Amino acid sequence: MTTTRKKQAEQTKQKILAAAHQIVRNEGIHALSSLKVINQAGVSKGGFFHHFPQIEDLYLYMLDQLVQRLDEDLAPGNFTTLQAFIHATSEYTMQLLENAPESVTTLFYFLSQSHHKPEYRKRLQLMLDSMFEHWSHNISHFFRPDLTAEQRNHITRILDMYFCGFSFHFLLLGDKAGYRKISAQFAEMLADFVHKEESHEK
């Protein structure tokens, strides 16, 4: 593929992504279909189905884009403590849910559906496993270097589960002040635990 064609392909994908977000935001997840996205994005059928043979491919791409955005906006290297990282992630999540709730609700919808689709579940599993590996590496400077890979991986998963539930609670209940406090407590809890695990290792 030449550079120009690559660039065009990327532009097509971004148009499709923007259209998908807009449809879900304005009309709800039920309205999302390949044809609707094609019309709204103003791309050709061939272009759409080349990138996304099935609607699930679009969901996976949306998830991938969200993960990449989080990775850039919340690079753990920018924070010196686990508490500061969790605080920033909380604030970021609340802002995202206020401004673009569809970016999260669409994924919840897809995740709850993918259980019935073994092939996509497999791809999603690979994606999540590699994401947890990547993150547990990236947050390793919050811990002592002698923490085992398994311990780091488990802590990363607990963090992810917390923010998964946090998104649900905040989406439904709002209460920024309350959930800000709760995240601070969770951060303290996790930091204490990591510290204790380290002490055990000594």
For a second copy, the closer of residues 79 and 179 by Cβ is: 179
Question: At a CB cut-off of 8 Å and minimum separation 6, what does 44 contact?
Answer: 38
> What is the contact surface with a second copy in residues (CB under 8 A)?
28-29, 101, 105, 108-109, 111-116, 121, 124-125, 128-129, 154-155, 157-158, 160-166, 168-169, 171-173, 181-182, 185-186, 188-190, 192-193, 196
Shorter beta-carbon distance to a second copy: residue 42 or 178: 178
Shortest distance, position 55 Cβ to a second copy, whole Å: 12
For residue 80, the 8-state DSSP code is: S
> In the bound complex, what is the minimum distance in angstroms from residue 49's beta carbon to a second copy?
21
Residue 151 CB, nearest distance to a second copy (Å)?
8
Choose between 24 and 43: whose C-beta lies nearer to a second copy. Answer: 24
- Report the chain's terminal Cα–Cα distance, integer Å: 53
For residue 55, give the amino acid letter. Answer: I
Residue 121 or 137: the one with the smaller Cβ distance to a second copy is: 121
- Please say whether the beta carbons of 79 and 187 come within 8 A: no
Query: CB-based burial of residue 155 (10 Å sphere; 0-12 exposed, 13-18 middle, 19+ buried)?
Result: buried
SS3 category, 117? coil
Nearer to a second copy, 16 or 97 (CB): 97
Q: How far is the CB of 3 from a second copy (least distance, A)?
A: 36
Nearest approach, Cβ of 14 to a second copy (angstroms)? 24
Count CB neighbours of 23 within 10 A: 22
Which helix (H) or strand (E) segment is 196 a member of? Answer: helix 176-201
